[in-house]
Structure 1
Amino acid sequence: MNIRDFEYLVALAEHKHFRKAAEACFVSQPTLSGQIRKLEDELGTSLLERSSRRVLFTDSGLQLVSQAKRILAEVKTFTEMASLQGKDMSGPLHIGFIPTIGPYLLPLIIQPLKKAFPDLELFLHEAQTNQLVRQLEEGRLDCIILASVAETEPFIELDMFNEPLMMAVPENHPWADKTELDMVELKGHTVLSLGDGHCLRDQALGFCFAAGASDDDRFKATSLETLRNMVAAGGGVTLLPQLSVPKEKVKDGVSYLKAVNPTPSRKVVLAYRPGSPLRKRFEQLATFISKTVNISQ
């Protein structure tokens, strides 16, 4: 057996589907299936129940999946330690971003990062918070950039910036000409929001609920751009992170206002595993990003 066999096993446990697991490992389905069967022969035990149309692991298989995850995490740490034999800011770095940060932060930092650290090889991954946390725990990501939430408490967090949330309303809305909106004015109104799984949903709604607003349960967006388009179509009002807001006050049917009393915001952090030997690299990266991103409070 080898490390690649463990990767196949963990991928199959995560995706519970041979084709999807094979795609995640960049191999053909017959290759992955054959290696799993070869691993079973070598271990002398069945890892899967093959009578079912679904991928079901035996008790022995589940135990070995857990051990395989630990082994892969140790291999990841070993690789990180080896990479430190060179410069702090050189070599591969796998970074995860949540969808409400990645599309707006990356255009601001990618070129400056490449210029400042030409020897750093960046691999960028986008997923929701719970997926990123799991991938970080399993060693498949080196660090993640997201809004600080309870799920990141087991990790070390490096604060980068506080990002205000701005009110977005249709351009013909009674509030559209305002430059600021007191949050108390939301009382009795409904707001559009993202669907479950987005940490921004809970963060934004927390401020809205405190102001006396309610969630519009007739619609749940899958992205900030869907929210923006719904506002432009006159479907309601919402809060959007400042990085996603254009410089113009009114653009494409949406008017943007600064929300005040209080100003809703989220803390954007870089999180990494406590035992990672790449601490200095993460600290340099977090400092660079916080200096590069211009956030006006």
Structure 2
Amino acid sequence: MLPLPSAQQLRYLIALSELRHFGRAAAACAVTQSTLSAGIMALERQLDAQLLDRTVGKKVVFTPLGHDIANKGRQALEALEAVPQLAAAARTPLTGALRLGIIPTIGPFLLTPLVKIIRLRFPQIVLSLTEDTTEHLLEKLSLGRLDMLVLAMPCLCDGTETLPLWQDPFHVVMPEGHDLSHLTHVPVERLENQRMIMMEDGHCLREQTLAVCRQGRGWDSSDGEGDSTFTATSLQTMVEMVELSLGIGVVPALAIENGLLQNHRVVARPLSGGPVWRTIGLAWRPRSPRAADFHTLASAFATLAPANRETPRPDLSAIGKKDTARSK
């Protein structure tokens, strides 16, 4: 009988395949770099196969066989981890650990009601929370370090199941007395030639803002990004930059409705024309044995949508059915 790789060996290989860096892969697996390297070398000896091309210096390059084995290992590890999860879900649904990830442009404004609704409706859930950028959360989800994410879509969420909850309209935030402040709604075309304050790279709101700006006729994304002298790490910082007349910013309604602009000498106007919103939604690994639990949680989370939203909420009545919605 052929010796089987251990789950830990597969985790090391998958982490290195995803991150392409020994240090980051080791950190993701909570081990030292030498431990991870030794584990992969032991797997190579066990399989009598070369998984990494070590002739290219410090770069992490998988051999074709190594790439195939990493993909198969990912499927095998997901199936192995699903066994105890499936048994636990069958015994007592909506109990046990839930490792939830949330992005920084949602977390400060939705975290409190999310935690409250989980404690009230699902008291047997043991919740842990991680706030990070979309890219990093998706990475942790794929490595099995998180169970479910609260994201803003559209995003590059390939390889996940996604479920939209509600739409979150965008507003333009500008200093008092700005040329656009007299408008009740700001057409996207009026963003042309405006100095935009963007979130820094890694935040999905940056890409969503650029997508909104591109709807304006004649708006050149390269010119717009080049003119974006100021970038912010948080919405709070963005509003302070706007107040200093360094530019204008695109901010989701969720943040404004939760007091982001309080005590700041700025005004906000809704955007109009084209898709001028993001969608708050959930994401998890495909074929998760806890999919029914996540649909139930989604049904509860959807009740947090502001009552004045004109967009319909998703039909969550078919609890447990596989969601086929994908982020574009």
TM-score, normalization by structure 2 = 0.75
Of 93-102 and 280-289, deviating more is 93-102
CA apart distance, 1:6: 0.8
The one-character-per-residue Cα deviations of 1:3-52 (angstroms, maximum 9, x if unpaired) are 01111111222333333222221122332222222222222223334452
CA apart distance, 1:136: 4.6
Find the counterpart in structure 2 of residue 275 from structure 1: 287
Runs of 5+ unmatched residues, structure 1? none
Amino acid at match of 2:184: E
User: Secondary structure, in 3 states, of the residue corresponding to 1:38?
Assistant: helix
**1:166-177 alignment to 2 at 5 Å?**
166-175=171-180
TM-score, normalization by structure 1 = 0.82
User: Secondary structure, in 3 states, of the residue corresponding to 2:173?
Assistant: strand
Q: 1:254 to 1:107 in 2, by over 3 A?
A: farther
Distance 2:258 2:106 in 1: 17
Distance 2:190 2:59 in 1: 48
User: Secondary structure, in 3 states, of the residue corresponding to 2:197?
Assistant: strand
The one-character-per-residue Cα deviations of 1:89-142 (angstroms, maximum 9, x if unpaired) are 112223333332233322331233223322112343444445545655565543
Match of 1:200 among 189, 205, 228: 205
**1:16-95 alignment to 2 at 5 Å?**
16-50=20-54, 52-95=57-100
Of 205-214 and 222-231, deviating more is 205-214
Q: When you count strand as a share of all residues, which structure comes out higher?
A: 1
How much identity, in percent, do the aligned residues show? 30
CA apart distance, 1:249: 8.7
Question: Quick check: 1:217 aligned with 2:226?
Answer: yes
Amino acid at match of 1:110: V
Distance 1:32 1:276 in 2: 27
Conserved? CA contact 2:152–2:204, under 8 Å: yes
Distance 1:202 1:15 in 2: 22
User: Secondary structure, in 3 states, of the residue corresponding to 1:68?
Assistant: helix
The one-character-per-residue Cα deviations of 1:231-261 (angstroms, maximum 9, x if unpaired) are 1221111110122226569545442323154
User: Secondary structure, in 3 states, of the residue corresponding to 2:90?
Assistant: coil
CA apart distance, 1:86: 3.0
Distance 1:184 1:42 in 2: 59
Q: How many residues align?
A: 296
Q: 1:225 to 1:79 in 2, by over 3 A?
A: farther
Distance 2:40 2:173 in 1: 51
